[in-house]
């Protein structure tokens, strides 16, 4: 028998009302969202074992919103966990330029150049992990859109950097 995870999620952005209407249209149970209830601008639900992050991220992307999730996993020592999807947090102007370069790629060669650029930015720690993660995700998405092979750039959290220095230069 599966243990159930209690989830409380709040959506922000101009389409957050659309997300609430979407959850309302699901009824009481729509796996992986179980025992759904809406209170103001917050949705609470149960899920099996862990929160359905993939589905929540898909919804956030579909409605172009951010969300904050607080969840309780049965059997864990911690009282609760949090997950934040910052779809609408503003990026630095330099990061916006990199996104523009990635979005304008139309060929395999241009995609490779953008991939090398992001690889260099990762090596030089030019941006923070969130921004580098956005770049890596967008590169993968763009490669899928262009239907070309994708030589995977490791996500920033997969780095083999063993340093403990928390104040890295930009």
Task: Give the whole-angstrom CA distance, residue 52 versus residue 64.
Answer: 18
- Per-residue pLDDT, 134: 75
Residues paired with residue 30 on neighbouring β-strands, in sequence order = 33
Question: Which tens digits make up the pLDDT trace of 77-100?
Answer: 766 666 667 665 667 777 778 878
Mean pLDDT of 132-153: 70
Taking CA atoms, 29 is separated from 90, 124, 140, in Å, by 35, 47, 33
- DSSP state string for 81-120: EEEEE-TTPPPPHHHHHHHHHHHT--SHHHHHHHHHHHHH
- Per-residue pLDDT, 75: 73
| Mean pLDDT computed over every residue of the chain | 77
Task: Give the whole-angstrom CA distance, residue 37 versus residue 57.
Answer: 19
Q: How large a percentage of the chain has pLDDT more than 70?
A: 75
| pTM check: above 0.75 | no
- Per-residue pLDDT, 150: 47
- Per-residue pLDDT, 132: 75
- Per-residue pLDDT, 107: 86
């Amino acid at each position: 028998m599966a243990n159930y995870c209690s989830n409380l999620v709040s959506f922000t952005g101009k389409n957050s009302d659309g997300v609430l209407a979407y959850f309302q249209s699901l009824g009481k149970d729509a796996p992986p969202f179980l025992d759904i209830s809406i209170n103001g601008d917050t949705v609470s639900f149960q899920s099996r074992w862990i929160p359905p992050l993939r589905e929540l991220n898909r919804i956030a992307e579909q409605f172009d919103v951010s969300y904050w999730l607080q969840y309780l996993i049965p059997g864990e020592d911690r009282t609760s966990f949090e997950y934040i999807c910052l779809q609408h947090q503003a990026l630095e102007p330099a990061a916006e330029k990199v996104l523009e370069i990635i979005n304008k790629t139309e060929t395999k060669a241009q995609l490779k150049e953008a991939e090398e650029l992001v690889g260099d930015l990762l090596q030089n720690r030019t941006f923070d992990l969130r921004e580098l993660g956005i770049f890596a995700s967008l590169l993968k998405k763009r490669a899928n859109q262009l239907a070309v092979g994708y030589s995977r750039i490791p996500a920033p959290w997969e780095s083999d950097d063993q340093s403990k220095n928390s104040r890295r230069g930009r």
